[in-house]
Chain A
Amino acid sequence: MLNILYFARLRETFAMEKESLNVPATATVAGLLIELRARGGVWADALGVDKRWRVAVNQNMAEIDTPLKSGDEVAIFPPVTGG
């Protein structure tokens, strides 16, 4: 299982802070995003390829081809705006 976390605008848009999901067949960030977009509605809209979001795996910034394995913490959030 993956532990998925959502932050900031995405947490509000999805009305969800966290959930557990099986590791996608492709075992990559890209595969997970495809599964989440397949939910349609706000998921497809907010995670669309033309939208701006970032993914961290185990608290490190990740790329679309970053591999995933069971037990990983995957955080999905908007581009950061601190400082």
Chain B
Amino acid sequence: MSTIRVQTADFNIEDELALVRSNPSVGAVTSFIGLVRDINDGSGVTSLTLEHYPAMTERALANIVHEAETRWRILHTTVIHRVGELKPTDQIVLVLTASAHRGDAFAACEFMMDYLKTQAPFWKKEQTPSGSHWVDARGSDDAAAERW
């Protein structure tokens, strides 16, 4: 079972966790939350705008979930990614995985974040005191995805 959402609204991990805990076969839950930082590459960030490719986004996220489900024994996955304008300390993304035992949940969660970083069509634009600019992709993200 999986939950995939792309939304402007914030999310609450407690709500997502409650859904997963309702399945008594679940023995392990791992989650990752990405947050907006107030500094990136040395310059202050006052806000962040997340653009996406709506027709492709949910399909790309579903592909990532499917890939994780073929590699590990997963009982539930949740992927929520926000779009629009966000401020430092805001939540950007939630990836949550649930399995019977911890190994599958840990590995699948990290895999899904690494793949999301290089495969899901989102782009960040940062607003700083000196103007706005698009965030460049990091080579370290490609390397993180390739190790799987």
Contacts and interface: CB of A to CB of B under 8 A. Distances in A.
Interface residues of A, number: 19
A36 B84 CA distance: 30
Contact of A81 (B55, B59, B60, B124): B124
B121 A80 contact: yes
Interface of chain B, main secondary structure = mixed
Given A56-B56, A73-B55, A79-B118, 17 more contacts: A5-B53, A8-B134, A9-B123, A56-B53, A56-B121, A59-B53, A59-B59, A75-B56, A77-B123, A80-B117, A81-B134, A81-B136, A82-B50, A82-B117, A82-B121, A83-B116, A83-B122
Interface of B: 34, 50-53, 55-56, 59-60, 81, 92-93, 113, 116-125, 134-137
Counting chain A CB atoms within 10 Å of each CB, the highest count among B92, B123, B137 belongs to B123
Nearest to A79: B137
Interface of A: 5, 7-9, 12, 52, 56, 59-61, 73, 75, 77-83
Contact of B120 (A8, A60, A73, A83): A83
A56 to B, nearest CB: 6
